[in-house]
Structure 1
Amino acid sequence: MSIIVTGGDGYLGWPAALRIADRTDDRVVLVDNFARREWVEEIGSVSAVPIASIDERLDAAEEVLGLSNLSFVEGDLTEKSFVDQLLAVHEPEAIVHAAAQPSAPYSQINGERANYTQHNNMQATRNLLWGLEEQDMTDTHFIETTTTGVYGAPEFPIPEGGATMENQGERDEVPFPAMAGSWYHLTKSHDAANLRLANSQFDIPISDVRTSIIYGTEVEETRQDPRLKTRFDFDYYFGVVAHRFAAQAVAGYPVTIYGKGEQRKPFGSLEDAVEGLARLGVMDPDEREDDHVVYNQVTRPISIVEVGETIAEVAREHDFDVEVEHFENPRDEDETHQMEIENDRYLDLIDGQDVTFREGIEDVFETLTDYEGRIESHEDRFLPGVLEPDE
C-alpha cells in the first residue's frame, strides 16, 4: 500500500510528504509535473530560496532524514491515462492532493490563463476521483487542499464547512455558497462541490482542507540540509502577501499596503499546515470524524496592516531599514472587513499546535538574509503590470 502526495515538488506538498514519510512505513509517492517551476520562470521570477532537483531532494531525504520510503513519479494529472496507471500501480490508501495552479493573479492575467487554471485544477481532481471509483478504490481517503477563498468575505462568521439555511420556516444545512473572487478560487469552489458529490455517489471518504494564506520558510525536516528546502515565492503573481512584504524589506523597499489595510485575512504557518496534512495522510479510518469533513486550515485572521507592521518590526531587528507605506488600492475590496472564521475542528486536528505569526516571520528573515542578492535581482517582480497580457 502507499500514500500519494500530488504537488510533491511544491511549497506545501514537499514538506508535507517528508513528514508523512516519517510517520508511516508505507511507500510515499510524490507526483508532480514541475509546472510551478515553469510558471514562476514564465513571469520572470525565481524562488528566493534555491530549490534542489527532485533527485537531489530524495537523496537528501534518505541520507539526512533516513527516509527510504519516498519515491517520485513525473506526470500530468490532467491526463486520465496517467492517473489511471498511477492508481493501478500504487493502490493508495490515502491521497493528499496538493497539486494546482494556486495563483489568483496569474489566473486573472487573460482568458488563456483563466482557461488553463480552471482546466488544470478541476480536471486533475475529477481524474483522481473517477479513477478511484472506476478501479474500485473507494476506501481511499482523499484529502485535498482547497482554499478559504471559496468563502469570499461575508459579514457573518464563516462556518467550518456547511451553513444553515432557513426558508419558509424550514431549516437545513447546505454547502457554503461559492463566493470566490477569482478564476483560481472558483476552481476550488467547484472542486469542493465535486468532492461532496464524490462522497455522495462513490462513498469516497473526503477531507476538504480549506487552506488559508500560508507563510514561512522552514519546518523541522527542511532545516536539516539545503537540499531539503522548500520554495519561497515573493513575486506579485505567486508570492503571498506576507512573503512579498518580507522580500520587499530585504530588498530595501517600503512595505506596500494597499489602502487602509484594516481588512482581516485568514493566515496559518507552514509548520501548522504541514502538521495537519501529515495527520490526515496517516489517519486510521476509525479516527475520522465523518466520511466528509471540512477543515478551515487557519490559525487566526490577521489584518493586512498588522502583517505589514509586524514584518517591518522583525526586519528592523535584522538590520533592515524599512518603513510601512500605504498606496491607493487597485482592488475592489472592503478595506475594513473584519473576518471571523471558525477553526475548532482544524485546531483539534493539530492538537492546538499554533506557530504565531511573529514566530513564522522571524523564521522567514533568518532564511531570506542569505538570499538578498537573489531577491534584489528580481525586485521588479514585486508589483503588478510587469507581465503583459499577451506575453
Structure 2
Amino acid sequence: MSILLTGADGYIGWPTALRIASRTDERIVLVDNFARREWVESVGSTSAVPIASIDERIDAAEDVHGCSNLSFVEGDLTDRATVDRLLSVHEPSVVVHAAAQPSAPYSQINGERANYTQHNNLQATRNLLWGLHENGLGDTHFIETTTTGVYGAPEFPIPEGGATMESQGERDEVPFPAMSGSWYHMTKSHDAANMRLAHEQFDIPISDVRTAITYGTETEETAADPRLATRFDFDYYFGVVAHRFCAQAVAGYPMTVYGKGEQRKPFIALEDAVEGLARLALGDVEDRPDAHVVYNQVTRPISIVEIAETIADVSGEFDLDVDVEHFENPRDEDETHKMEIENDRYAELIGGQSTTFEEGVREILGSLVEHRGTIEAHEDRFLPGVLTEE
C-alpha cells in the first residue's frame, strides 16, 4: 500500500509531500504533469523563488531529510487510463488530491480557459473517484483540497460544510449551496458535490478540505535547502493577493488595492495548510473517517486593507519604501463584506494557528528581497494585461 499525492509539483502539493514523507516509511507516489509551470509562463510570468526539477527535489529530500520513500510518475489525470494504471499498480490507502488549475482570474480570461479549467479539474476528480470504486479501493481515504470560495460571500457566518434548512416546520442538514464567483471556484463546488455523491454511492471515505487563500514562502522542510523550495507566484493571475502585495513592496511598486478593500477574505499560512493535510493523510487507519467530512482550512479572515497595511508596516524592517494605492475594482464583489467563517474542526485537527499573519509577511519579504531582480523583471505582470500566445 502507498499514499498517492497529486499536484506534487505545486505550491501546496510539494511541501505536503515532503512533510508526509518525513513522518512515515510508507511509499509516497507523487503525480504531476507540470502544467502549472506552463500556465504561469503563458501569462508572461514565473516563480519568484527558483524551483528545481522534480528529480532534483526528490534527490534533495533524501539528502537533507532522509526521505527515501518518494517516487514520481508524470501523468495527466484527465486521462482515465492513466488514473486506472496509477491506482491498480500502487493501490493507495490514501489519495491526497491537490492537482487543479487553481486560478480564478485565469479561468475568467476567456471561454477557452474557462472550458479548460472546468474540464481539467472536474475530469481529474471524477477519474480518481470512479477509479477507486472500479479498482476495488473503496476503503481508500480520499482527501481533496477544494476551496473556501465555494461558499461565496454570504451575509451570515459560514458553516464548516453543510447548513441547516427549514421548510414547513421541518429541519434538515443540507450541503451548502454553490455560491462560487468564478469558473474556477465552480469546479470545486462541483467537486464537492461529486465527492458527496461518491461517498453515498461507493462508501469512499472523503475529507473535503476547503482551502483558504494560502500565504508563505516555505515550511520547516522546504527551508532546509534551496533545492526543496516550493514555487511562489506573484502575478495578477496566479499570485494570491498577499503574495502580489509583498512582491510589489519589494519591487517598489505601489500596492494595488481594488476598491475600498474592506472586504475580508479567509487566509491560512502555508505551514498550517500543509500540517492539516499531512495529519489527515497519516491518521491511524482505525481513526480514518468512514464518512464525508468537510474542513474549513482557514485560520482567520483578513481584510484587503489590513493585508496592505501590515505589509507596509513590516516593509520598514527591510528598508522598503511602500505606498498603498486604490484602483477601481475589476471584480463584482461587496468591498465592505465582513466575512465570518467557522473552522473549529480544522483548528482541532492542526492544534491551532502556528504563525500570525505579520510573522508570515516577515518571512515572505525576507525571502523575496533575495529575488528582487526576478520580480522587477516581471513587474508588468502585477496587473492584468495582454497575454503571450499559448
Structures share fold, TM-score greater than 0.5: yes
1:130 aligns with 2:122: no
Structure-2 separation of matches of 1:45 and 1:213: 20
Q: Structure 1 residue 345 and structure 2 residue 323: aligned?
A: no
Give the structure 2 partner of residue 294 of structure 1.
294
Equivalent residue, structure 2, for 1:154: 154
Please name the residue that 1:387 is paired with. 387
State percent identity of aligned pairs.
78
Q: Which amino acid aligns with 1:104?
A: A
Q: Quote the residue 1:108 is aligned against.
A: 108
Please say which of residues 255-264 and 96-105 is displaced more in the overlay.
255-264
Partner of 1:22: 22
Partner of 2:227: 227
Q: Distance in 2 between matches of 1:370 and 1:159?
A: 40
Distance 1:303 1:290 in 2: 37
The one-letter code matched in structure 2 to 1:100 is A
Classify the secondary structure of the residue corresponding to 1:386: coil
Q: Which digits, 9 at most, give the CA deviation of each residue in 1:335-380, with x for residues without a partner? A: 1100000000000000113311111111101110100000000000
Tell me the distance in 2 between the aligned counterparts of 1:333 and 1:32: 34
The residue identity in structure 2 corresponding to 1:214 is T
Q: Does 1:94 align with 2:112?
A: no
Secondary structure in structure 1 of the residue aligned to 2:274: helix
State whether structure 2 residue 11 is matched by structure 1 residue 11: yes
What is the TM-score when the length of structure 1 is the normalising length?
Answer: 0.98
- What residue number does 1:357 align with? 357
2:367 corresponds to 1:367? yes
- Matches of 1:5 and 1:289, distance apart in 2: 18
1:270-289 counterparts in 2 under 5 A? Answer: 270-288=270-288
How far apart are residue 131 of structure 1 and its match? 0.4
Matched, 1:254 2:232: no
Q: Which amino acid aligns with 2:32?
A: D
Shift of 1:384: 1.0
Q: For the structure 1 residues 288 and 2, does the alpha-carbon distance in structure 2 shift closer, same or farther, using more than 3 Å as the test?
A: closer
Q: What amino acid is aligned across from residue 7 of structure 1 in structure 2? A: G
- Rounded Cα–Cα distance in structure 2 between residues aligned with 1:183 and 1:329: 18
What SS does structure 1 have at the residue aligned with 2:38?
A: helix
Mapped to 2, the partners of 1:57 and 1:313 lie a distance apart of 35
Counterpart residue number, 2:307: 307
Letter in 2 for 1:130: W
Residue deviations 1:84-131, cap 9 Å, x none?
Answer: 000011110000000000000100111110000000000000000000
Residue in 1 that maps onto 2:68? 68
Aligned to 1:47: 47
Contact persistence 1:222–1:230 (CA under 8 A) = yes
Shift of 1:325: 1.4
Q: Which is further off, 212-221 or 315-324?
A: 315-324
Q: Residue deviations 1:244-299, cap 9 Å, x none?
A: 00000011111110111110000000000000000011112332455110000000
Query: Which secondary structure state, in structure 2, belongs to the residue aligned with residue 207 of structure 1?
Result: strand
Q: Give the match for residue 209 of structure 1.
A: 209
Alignment correspondent of 2:142: 142
The 8 Å contact of residues 380 and 386 in structure 1, kept in 2 or not, is answered as no
Give the secondary-structure state (helix, strand or coil) at the position aligned to 1:185: helix
In 1: Cα distance, 2:215 partner to 2:290 partner: 29
Deviations 1:318-343 (A, max 9, x none): 11101111122222111110000000
Distance 2:182 2:381 in 1: 21
Distance 1:289 1:354 in 2: 25
Specify the alignment match of 1:334 in structure 2.
Answer: 334
Instruction: Tell me how far 1:304 sits from its aligned partner.
Output: 0.5
1:27-42 matches, within 5 Å, as: 27-42=27-42
Distance 1:385 1:150 in 2: 27
SS at match of 2:365: helix
User: 1: CA distance between counterparts of 2:97 and 2:363?
Assistant: 27
The amino acid that maps onto 2:6 is T
Give the secondary structure class of the aligned counterpart of 1:49: coil
CA distance in 1, matches of 2:378, 2:189: 33
Q: Select between 242-251 and 318-327 the one with higher mean Cα deviation.
A: 318-327
Offset, 1:317 = 1.3
SS of the residue 1:171 aligns to: strand
Structure 1: distance between partners of 2:183 and 2:268: 23
Q: Distance in 1 between matches of 2:349 and 2:225?
A: 28
Following TM superposition, the consecutive aligned residue runs of length 4 or more in structure 1 with deviations greater than 6 angstroms are none
Q: What is the count of residue pairs matched by the alignment?
A: 390
In 1, the alpha carbon distance for the partners of 2:208 and 2:354 equals 20
Structure 2 residues not aligned, in runs of 5+: none
Contact 1:257-1:324 at 8 Å conserved across structures: yes
2:186: which partner in 1? 186
Q: Unaligned 5+ residue runs, structure 1?
A: none
CA distance in 2 between partners of 1:341 and 1:192 (Å): 18
SS in 1 for 2:187: helix
Displacement of 1:313 in angstroms is 1.1
Q: Is the 8 A contact 1:299 1:354 kept in 2?
A: no
SS at match of 2:48: coil
